[in-house]
Amino acid sequence: MNETEFLSKVSIFSNMKKEDLKRIAGQIRYEEFHGGEVIIHEGERDNRLFIVIQGEVEVVKDLGGKKEKVLGTFGPHGYFGEMALIDGLTRSASVVAREETKVLSLEQLDLRKEIEKSPAMAVELLQMLSRRVRVCDKFIIKTLGSILPICSGCKKVREDDGSWTSIEEYIEDRSGTEFSHGLCPECAKRLYPQYYKGD
């Protein structure tokens, strides 16, 4: 396989100069995964960008947990793992091979330097992030509704049938989100001044 030619067909690299593609191609690693094998683990630190050559992968939130949810799939020429290159945070979801899958991985790509050389890469990343924000917006509106009728006093939410329910219950019923409870410093000080120590 000609890695330089392959990279030129991947949207994030498609507008780069040939010499830059050759340089990046010299840094990539070829990897294979069996169906069901986890490529990225949610919550781990991993600074690799992956590009699918062959096969298909699933992006899964809460893999193996009660709230496991498939967020999307990627096939040939699709890429994933770029968020860790942008924000440096832990992986927000797991990625699992759905079948025999071949990928190219690029470790510690200096994204800022590459963007300086090829501003089109920044445009591609912005478009990708914009698509994700739109999907999130649609999900939130579909899950909770575009307008949330909430009581300004007790913070209960009015249901479609006119009844009122706690905001926690309302969100849990529609999204599967679970809540834990604590006290913010202001409430702790107001409700339990004798115990509040300010830390």
Return the pLDDT at 15: 81
Question: How many angstroms separate the CA atoms of 137 and 146, rounded?
Answer: 9
| Residue 23 main-chain phi, psi, to 5 deg | -65, -45
Q: Which residue has the tokens 């190219």?
A: 104
What residue ranges of the chain have pLDDT lower than 50? none
Give pLDDT, residue 40: 93
Runs of H (alpha helix) within the chain? 3-8, 18-25, 82-87, 111-117, 119-144, 167-175, 185-191
Which phi and psi (to 5°) does residue 150 adopt?
A: -120, 140
Q: Domains plus CATH for the chain?
A: 3-123 (2.60.120.10), 142-191 (no CATH)
pLDDT (0 to 100) of residue 54: 95
Six-digit token pair at 18? 């040939």
pLDDT at residue number 103: 96
pLDDT at 129: 76
